[in-house]
Amino acid sequence: MPVRVQSVHRGIDLIYYGNQGHSEYDFMIAPGADPKVIALNFEGADQLEVDYNGDLVLKTGSSSLRQHKPVIYQEVQGRRQLVSGEYVLKGPRLVGFQVGAYHVSRRLVIDSVLSFSSYLGGQGGSSLFDLSGGQ
């Protein structure tokens, strides 16, 4: 069952859901809203990197979490129209999205898939991400 978090930023909603054994989240960007304001703060990560495939890799100790390259699209006349885009590192633990040209008058979707490479967690607490951007 999807969980929708409305207005994580003005004009931007976040939807969490499962799909074929993977955890996914989508940012739903309303017409006129700016996807550049999205900032994911990965507390507890030792290192973040964007690999050669465009995947975001979060490392903590001997564990890692991979977020596949985002699929960015718009619905145009009932069909998905892909939009170019990628993760962009904004700081040591801060990640955003760079989005190519798109119709700002239409809703934009940024779809990301989490893939666990090994066990996350440890003796202390672990937090995957904080959507506040550290603000």
Domain locations in the chain? 3-116
What's the distance, CA 41 to chain centroid?
11
20: left (phi over 0), alpha (psi -120 to 50) or beta: left
Residue 20: what pLDDT? Answer: 67
- pLDDT at residue 121, rounded to an integer: 43
The sign of the dihedral angle between the CA atoms of 42, 32, 106, 17 is: positive
**Quick one: pLDDT at residue 88?**
96
Residue-wise DSSP of 71-129: EEEEEETTEEEEE-EEEEEEETTEEEEEE-S--TTS-EEEEEEEEESS----SS-----
Residue 57 one-letter amino acid: V
Q: What was the pLDDT predicted at 16?
A: 84
Model confidence pLDDT, tens digit, residues 48-86? 999 999 999 999 888 888 889 999 999 999 999 999 999
Residues of the chain with pLDDT under 50: 117-135
What are the structure tokens assigned to 124, written together? 């202390």
Residue-level pLDDT at 19:
67
Euclidean distance between CA atoms 46 and 61, whole angstroms: 7
Specify the pLDDT at position 8.
Answer: 81
